[in-house]
């Protein structure tokens, strides 16, 4: 039996850009740090972020703009105590900002940083990206997954139902440290009508966190799919012909609650082959990560992250250098 998917949506709910200005740029001295702090005092263009958000930077602020809701306010960190860290770290949620919000973000950067958005276009690198594929009409309880990285975290509801699953190791990385694993996967249900794909009442989000690729912003549209190591199975798969129904139900329940490797440990080698064949014979109809990822370059173009803001592509102070749209 196959699960039916109404709609698939591709997006990303976090991106982190890091960039440093040209060496010996006088514009980034103590006076600029004081300017950013002063902008936070009236809470019109910015406000101070939480103390934990500073993370080694002299200034950590939430950028403010009428086009953004409070939960979508981008985080800008500037002027690190460690001279080896990038001068700017910009974190925001493209899913929440949308095209209008990203246009406002570029204009904010143009107005409040000496070299504006063209500096990001020229030199910024993507230090983290959280990509997601939302499967509308597919409840979480109808799927279970496996990945090359180990299943490391589960969240349960008070009713005893699983709410989210993580594969890989969540990491807090400091400058200079290398990621221990290439990816972190999260799988969780979306039940909020405002967050599920249009026309659906429920959905499952498959999220891949990549903190190791570090492409330049100009190559963001070229990154390969981070979902290649994630395999999803249907919890509605029919049992092997020789299995009692109860044994198959138990196997699927253990696979959903604790992961497929744990469920397979209960089986003999012959039973593992039978279970693998049964799962392979029941793919989830329409859930194709590879095909969905083909829309990634179009998504990046539509959001306009690789284009100048409304102020154009000239870097202030470097008027001879132009960033093409």
Per-residue pLDDT at 217: 96
Per-residue pLDDT at 26: 81
Alpha-carbon distance 239 to 243, whole Å? 6
Alpha-carbon distance 75 to 54, whole Å? 10
In sequence order, what E strands does 39-83 have? 46-48, 57-63, 75-80
For residue 83, CA distances in Å to 53, 57, 80, 178 come to 18, 10, 6, 19
Per-residue pLDDT at 58: 94
Helix orientation angle between 94-112 and 116-123, rounded to the nearest 10 degrees:
120
For the chain (325 residues), the mean pLDDT of every run of 10, in chain order, is 67 95 84 93 92 91 92 94 94 95 95 92 94 91 77 58 68 45 78 81 90 90 91 90 94 84 90 93 88 96 92 60 45
pTM summary value: 0.85
Alpha-carbon distance 252 to 259, whole Å? 9
Three-state secondary-structure class, residue 129: strand
Per-residue pLDDT at 145: 82
Alpha-carbon distance 268 to 311, whole Å? 66
């Amino acid at each position: 039996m196959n699960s039916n998917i109404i709609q698939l949506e591709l997006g990303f709910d976090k991106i982190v850009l890091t960039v440093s200005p040209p060496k010996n740029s006088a514009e980034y001295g103590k006076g600029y740090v004081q300017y950013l702090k002063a902008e936070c005092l009236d809470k019109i263009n910015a406000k101070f972020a939480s103390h934990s958000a500073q993370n080694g930077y002299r200034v950590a602020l939430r950028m403010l703009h009428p086009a953004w809701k409070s939960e979508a306010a981008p985080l800008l960190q500037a002027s690190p105590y460690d001279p080896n860290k990038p001068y700017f770290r910009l974190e925001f949620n493209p899913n929440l900002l949308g095209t209008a919000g990203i246009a406002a973000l570029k204009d904010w950067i143009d107005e409040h940083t000496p070299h504006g958005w063209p500096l990001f276009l020229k030199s910024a690198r993507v230090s983290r990206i959280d990509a997601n594929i939302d499967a509308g009409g597919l409840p979480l309880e109808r799927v279970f997954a496996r990945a090359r990285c180990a299943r490391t975290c589960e969240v349960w509801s008070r009713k005893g139902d699983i709410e989210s699953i993580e594969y890989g190791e969540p990491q807090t990385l400091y400058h200079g440290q290398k990621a221990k694993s290439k990816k972190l996967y999260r799988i969780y249900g979306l039940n909020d009508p405002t967050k599920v794909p249009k026309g659906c009442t429920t959905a499952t989000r498959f999220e891949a966190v990549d903190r190791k690729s570090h492409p330049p912003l100009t190559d963001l549209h070229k990154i390969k799919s981070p979902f290649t190591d994630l395999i999803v199975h249907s919890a509605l798969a029919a049992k092997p012909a020789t299995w009692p129904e109860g044994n198959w139900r138990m196997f699927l329940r253990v696979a959903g609650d604790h992961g497929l490797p744990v469920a397979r440990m209960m089986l003999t080698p012959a039973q593992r082959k039978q279970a693998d064949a049964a799962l392979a014979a029941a793919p989830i109809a329409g859930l194709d990560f590879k095909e969905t990822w083909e829309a990634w370059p179009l998504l990046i173009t539509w959001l306009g992250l690789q284009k100048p803001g409304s102020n154009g592509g000239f870097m202030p102070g470097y008027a001879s250098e132009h960033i093409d749209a």
